[in-house]
Amino acid sequence: MLGFGMYTQALDSAGAAEPQGDVDEVARLERFQARIDRDEKIEPKDWMPADYRQALIRQIAQHAHSEVVGMLPEGNWISRAPSLRRKVVLIAKVQDEGGHGMYLYSAAETLGVSRAALIEQLLAGRAKYSSIFNYPTLTWADIGAIGWLVDGAAIMNQIPLCRCSYGPYARAMVRICKEESFHQRQGYELMLTLARGSAAQRAMAQEALNRWWWPSLMMFGPSDAHSVHTAQSMRWKIKRFSNDELRQKFIDVTVPQAQYLGLTVPDPELRWDEPAQHYRAGPIDWSEFQAVLEGGGPCNRERLAARREAHEAGRWVREAAVAYAEKHGAHAEPARSG
């Protein structure tokens, strides 16, 4: 599956050149693990185990798809933003998410998978993306809740990925993390405005928190006891913290933020554990998570339909661009402007 145009940093060789025959596979694996243990970065042309490559492709592609599909629930409110300020902010945020998708597709491509193949998997419904984006955005307060909680959870997940062992992924994550902070802050500011507003606005904010709280906790993935990939990913330093560790961190920073808003976290069992200095959440309903993941979420169908429609509607533009490039020579210098 290594094919044309797969490297973005190292492009002239025919693949991660594997020394032939005589080098013992076990020794090679050991050398690879030793590099990881020394915190060396693995780069596209370096030798890597096939499983490492596959695990990264799976994770980065899922991540890229999530950024792209994640534009849809928020895009839903651009035309109805209550002020010009809120509208430009929302457009900028949604555009960032598109950008994040682009950085991540590029990183995945360095592993030998083509962009077209990844997009095709998404459109065919064969690719996973974060199930949070299969929930609808019913009110304007959802835009605040998404920025605050969904981007907040994403940041929690993404910061450790800046130190991921695979260079192109780590570098993409650094760029993304720099941009995420504004996403979360604009969301919290929006919630704060509603929380300080009329009774109806406060109720709207509370209702959005009620709907987004549990799905946000589920964004960290299944609990460690049921997580299939965690141990190997940690050994490879693709992952640095377990799902439950990150979820706990998120709960600890988010509960006081909800209190400041004067809103109630929709978890009757939530309590402060004084000796451990942690908030303890009640049990998560994983059957819901599974159902949404398997396509039973409120918007699974709608999200994919929207992506397919955008892809088809853009087809003539892509074809026109190719025709134009062929006519004028793809290597033609861009027009000089003074």
Partner 1 sequence: MNEDWALYEVFIRSRSGLEHKHVGSLHAADARMAIEHARDTYTRRLEGVSIWVVRSSEIVASDPEEAEALFEPARDKIYRHPTFYAIPDEVKNL
332 backbone dihedrals φ, ψ, rounded to 5°: -55, 140
Read off the tokens for 113: 């998978």
Taking the complex as a whole, the smallest distance from the CB of residue 293 to partner 1 amounts, in Å, to 26
The reply on whether position 183 binds Fe ion by CB under 5 A is yes
The reply on whether position 151 binds Fe ion by CB under 5 A is yes
The reply on whether position 7 binds partner 1 by CB under 8 A is yes
Read off the tokens for 162: 């800046």
Q: Which is nearer to partner 1, 101 or 221 (CB)?
A: 101
Q: How far apart are CA 20 and CA 41, in angstroms?
A: 24
Q: Which is nearer to partner 1, 7 or 250 (CB)?
A: 7
The reply on whether position 97 binds Fe ion by CB under 5 A is yes
Read off the tokens for 200: 């109806």
Q: Which does 151 bind (CB under 5 to 8 A by kind): partner 1, Fe ion, none?
A: Fe ion
Q: Which does 97 bind (CB under 5 to 8 A by kind): Fe ion, partner 1, none?
A: Fe ion
Answer for which of 40, 91, 160, 179 binds partner 1 (CB under 8 A) is 179
The reply on whether position 2 binds partner 1 by CB under 8 A is no
Residues 297-326 that bind partner 1 (CB under 8 A): 318, 321-322, 324-325
49 closest CA partner among 23, 29, 20? 29
Q: How far apart are CA 64 and CA 59, in angstroms?
A: 9
125 backbone dihedrals φ, ψ, rounded to 5°: 75, 15
Question: Interacting stretch for Fe ion, rule CB under 5 A, among 181-189, 219-227, 262-270, 272-280?
Answer: 181-189
212 closest CA partner among 119, 22, 73? 73
CB 194 within 8 A of CB 144: yes
Answer for which of 58, 171, 249, 278 binds partner 1 (CB under 8 A) is 171
